[in-house]
Amino acid sequence: MSKRLQDKVAFVTGAGSGIGAATALRFAEEGALVVLCGRRAQPLEAVLEQVVAAGGRAEVAVADVSDEQAYVAALQATAQRHGRLDILVNNAMAYTWGGIDSMTTADWHANFTTTVDGTFWGTRTAMQLMQGKGGSIVNIASICGLFGTAWMAGYSAAKAAVINFSRAAASEGAAHNIRCNVIIPGVVDTPATAGMLGDARARANTEKVIPMRRVGQPHELANAILFLASDEASYVTGASLAVDGGRGSDLYTVLE
């Protein structure tokens, strides 16, 4: 039986840890050659070692997604080396924390450069490279982009923008067999959430408002991303898939 991503070329941003690393490992298991993109070489090299140890194929591309020239060049170099780009996962993000009344304009903008601009630059470049061949783009949003989260107004706004931008990209890409979908994670156990899950009490308070009563694990997000990236989702585009343990359900009410 062939693997789901056999001989596909996939590019994953934010691949040095968390959801990005789990996705890269999962893609490699399914036969893809995975380009691991991030700002720092050391975490990427560690993921590369894991991929190779498991019998997979991967490469490292050190590039800051908030730097248009560097990010676009990394994508173009990938397609040039391998003759194609089949899958792009825009996973890299950045955020600031603080109330709206004290937020500086610089802090506000800092939420958008990687999350929104980077997603735009990556999607635009991928659509150009996938012309005539088709491909799959999976953009990673957040439950904050649906609800809005206090003291994270910039991040919430940026992730909401990713969701609606991806719908537009799906509409434009459909005629060229270029699919664009969104994964909407809830709270996932990653380095980015270590602060909010730092002690047993904080973790318990977080889990209390999740219907499944636990936070997600990176591999659970990776499995959902794999589905949307693969040909199993060949008739799925413009979709936003929540992977949040039921947190986004309007029917659920916390009773405690």
In a domain, 118, yes or no: yes
In a domain, 53, yes or no: yes
In a domain, 127, yes or no: yes
In a domain, 26, yes or no: yes
- The CA distances from residue 146 to 59, 162, 249, in Å, are 34, 11, 11
In a domain, 2, yes or no: no
Give the whole-angstrom CA distance, residue 170 versus residue 163: 11
What's the pTM value of the predicted model, to 2 decimals? 0.93
The enclosing domain of 76 has a CATH number of 3.40.50.720
What is the total count of domains within the chain? 1
In a domain, 229, yes or no: yes
Across 40-45, average pLDDT? 98
Q: pLDDT per residue over 135-178, tens digit each?
A: 999 999 999 899 878 888 999 999 999 999 999 999 999 999 99
The answer, yes or no, to whether residue 193 has pLDDT greater than 80, is no
Query: What is the reported pLDDT for 251?
Result: 42
In a domain, 3, yes or no: no
In a domain, 40, yes or no: yes
Residues noted as catalytic: 155
Per the structure, the complete domain to which residue 203 belongs is given by 9-241
The answer, yes or no, to whether residue 232 has pLDDT greater than 80, is yes
